[in-house]
Structure 1
Amino acid sequence: MTSRLEDFAGRAAIVAIFTFLLVRQVATIAPIIRAEDAMPGRSLILTSKIAALIFISLSLLFTLIRLPAKANTPGLSPRVVSIAGTFMMSLLAVLPVGTVTTDVLMFGTAMIVSGTLLSAYCLLWLGRSFSIMATARKLVVTGPYGVVRHPLYVAELITISGVVIVNWSIAAVLLGVCWFALQFQRAMNEERVLRATFPEYNEYAQRVPMLLPSLVKASGPVKQ
């Protein structure tokens, strides 16, 4: 009962946060559309906003319809890591950041677009197994999850690298490094709960690398 109550409370909180982010993202798109054509990189910036809107919408949808949890990582630390890793880059909104040239801005924005669209693609494969916390719902081993075990984090790394570039400053770099450390620990937390819940995970992990794609194609099906 406690586990179900925790899952329900967590889902309600995440839905509220993603709903707020969705509304805010929509509000940021309108001024760009109304902006004059002379706005540097208008099309690319608008694309990045729409890509983020798609990702947030998918996150909200899959949080609403996610599968029941089969197991959770115990303790407070994994929960703090998951929440901090998800939202800490939002601190850039209140931290001092630098300015970059138009070319650097466009390069960083292109990385953001690429990473966000890849994240949305990974999220589509993850589907109802999506969760902010380190939780076992259903093991996904196909699509991008057949290339690396944590493709969503790899895609997000591309996005965050772009965010650091367009906000280039000591604060942005330090925040990006902290984000990476938290996400790596988050992946390790997920590894533990998935190994404990799904006996076939060890076989899957032996053939599919954690974060960096292997140059040698794995052979043989994964038991499900």
Structure 2
Amino acid sequence: MSDRLEDLIGKGLIIVVFFFFAVQQGAVIMVMIDHRETTDYWGLALTSRALGLLFLCMVVCLTLIRLPPRRNAEGAEPRLSALAGTFILMIIPVLPGGSIGPGLLLFSTVLVAVGFALSIYCLFWLGRSFSIMATARELVTGGPYAIVRHPLYAAEAVSAVGFLIANWSLAAFVVGAAHFAFQFRRMFNEERVLRATFSDYPDYASRVPMLIPRLSRPIPGTERG
């Protein structure tokens, strides 16, 4: 299958799936508005859901207008890792769950809201280069991508931690560990494709950390090269 055909099929599936999720999120928001008297931390919870809806809508819109691929990762593993990293957390609500106190519930809701807000900011910068699969479209090095090479994954991790706390159980912990393992694998797969496509990526990678920001900028002339 050619890269263009694979990208077209993937685009259609992403649009359908995330549009469905957006409709579901919108329906949940409407229910929350109708039952605001019985919802804990209603204003914060509604904000979190609204940010989640905006994130889903941005994924659909950016997928519609994304640039054609210059190169895709080879083999089945990068594709399976991308799908697992994206969707595996969705099985948690159907697993046996525990309960958390109001303090942890508040904390988890804040984490989810902050994570979605940061993810929206990263998507704004990523723009038409957005992709779920390990694909090279255009190298983005500005905004949050000047701080770390994978800010969207870092932002999504914040939301994921909040989601795991809100649905805490041993089963959720196992699924969460698998999620983060797949996310790390996605980063390495994406880096391999970007290095093979963009000649200036190694220099960018030498200056910008992968996931954890540096506390201070390197002194000019001391960067790795």
TM-score interval, normalised by the smaller of the two chains: over 0.9
Who is 1:74 aligned against?
Answer: 74
Residue aligned with 1:37, SS: helix
Who is 1:119 aligned against?
Answer: 119
Distance in 2 between the 1:149 and 1:36 partners?
Answer: 40
Q: Which amino acid aligns with 1:152?
A: L
CA RMSD of aligned residues (A): 1.2
1:86 is aligned to 2:75: no
Distance in 2 between the 1:192 and 1:200 partners?
Answer: 13
Who is 2:150 aligned against?
Answer: 150
Distance in 2 between the 1:189 and 1:108 partners?
Answer: 30
Residue aligned with 1:160, SS: helix
Who is 1:191 aligned against?
Answer: 191
Higher alpha-carbon deviation: 207-216 or 31-40: 31-40
Who is 1:204 aligned against?
Answer: 204
TM-score by length of 2: 0.95
Residue aligned with 1:26, SS: helix
Q: Which amino acid aligns with 1:92?
A: I
Alpha-carbon deviations, 1:83-103, whole Å to 9, x = none? 110111000121111111111
Distance in 1 between the 2:124 and 2:36 partners?
Answer: 35
Change (3 A) 1:88 1:135: same
Distance in 2 between the 1:64 and 1:81 partners?
Answer: 23
Alignment size in residue pairs: 220
* Identical aligned residues as a percent: 48
Distance in 1 between the 2:212 and 2:177 partners?
Answer: 18
Gaps in structure 2 of 5+ consecutive residues: 221-225
* Conservation of the 8 A alpha-carbon contact between 1:208 and 1:218: no
Gaps in structure 1 of 5+ consecutive residues: none
* Conservation of the 8 A alpha-carbon contact between 2:93 and 2:167: no
Alignment of 1:97-176 (within 5 A): 97-176=97-176
Who is 1:21 aligned against?
Answer: 21
Q: Which amino acid aligns with 1:61?
A: C
* Conservation of the 8 A alpha-carbon contact between 1:51 and 1:117: yes
Who is 2:49 aligned against?
Answer: 49
